[in-house]
Chains A and B, each alone.
Chain A
Amino acid sequence: MTSTDKPTHRVGVLALQGAFARHVESLTRCGADAFEVRTPEQLAACDALVIPGGESTTMAMLLDRLELRTPLAERLNDGLPVFGTCAGMILLAKEIADGRPDQVPFDVIDIDVRRNGYGRQINSFEADIAVEGLDGSSFRAVFIRAPVVTRVGAEVDVLAEVDGDPVMCRSGHVSVVSFHPELTDDDRLHRLFLDRL
């Protein structure tokens, strides 16, 4: 399943709900073969996966109802490279606070998050952040009802912060951000993800 000898990476974007189309656009601009994932067959075709922003409760329910949860958990545990943004970060975390009781995360990166930790929509914001490993200027990060990272495990690298809170973390094949790189034309974080495949 590795794609190191292939010129383009087959990157799926989980398309149950949310900003999946914007991720497909960003990844395509970066030269990846990007496609939407709604079925176990499409999931099996991925070399890497993006879990987009959207409503994490809705996505979690649809994962169950469309019988994607088990195959996705297996791929993630087998080391499928994954990039989770906002709701994607929530789904990949270890513990979720202020979620629904039946919302079980995949637990593939050792962080805890609090849903809507910055508040409601009127508290949503954008900010310039410095990202470790990123060339050039700062990155304009857009936070929409974003989760707050409340605990970071010892094995996890924090790559960016806002006011002392981690907003970008990486551990092995799992990268997560609490903001929305797909809402800007700046593709550097998508490129960073692809460069590491």
Chain B
Amino acid sequence: MHIKQQFKEGLITNNPVLVQLIGMCATMAITTSLFNGIGMGLSVLVILTCCNVVVSLIRKVIPNDIRLAIFVLVIAGFVTLVDMALKAWIPALSESLGVFIPLIVVNCIIIGRAEAFCQKNPVGPSFFDGIFQGLGYTLVLICMCVIRELLGKGTFGAGIFNTVNGIGTGEGIRIFPAEYGALVITLPIGGFITLGCLIALMQYALKKSEKKKEAKEKELAEKEAA
């Protein structure tokens, strides 16, 4: 039952980007093609899970005063590993994400989860927390990518579908001709506005479900009173 709750929290009710509002720089910067989004999301998922496990393993050993410095060191180590692995195995992804892979070090999601969750919880829950929070992050990235790619370039899944030579070179499935796309959505402005609208949508949905819950509780209370 804990796992189920963690799953729901990571993906929806406590989503790192849409509800906790952290880790937004990369969310806006790299979401121009589905390939980038999935690559970035999975990299963060792997790093987050590894860091969560390590931090929760050493949580009783580290002195409280310098814990942040130690967290940053652990994170930087894993980020370097992933960075090197990507450079070796998927150079196309490493090139298109560029400086944003090493910048995962200062991504607030990872240090935030270490500070808020793994410091107080044993290895098992921390492991699942990493996976579900990472999945929640990936989900948002995918949403952003699909919206921005479709509106901006009229394609779906650039870099993944219709691959001609090597990973990451595919054109994607064309939904409508490129000249009808709004180029502005693929530019920085589009990143800010798309994310703003997504968060607004989330706030709307959360408020609505809360109201529903309240109404239900009221009804129950009234019934009991009657």
A, B: real partners: no
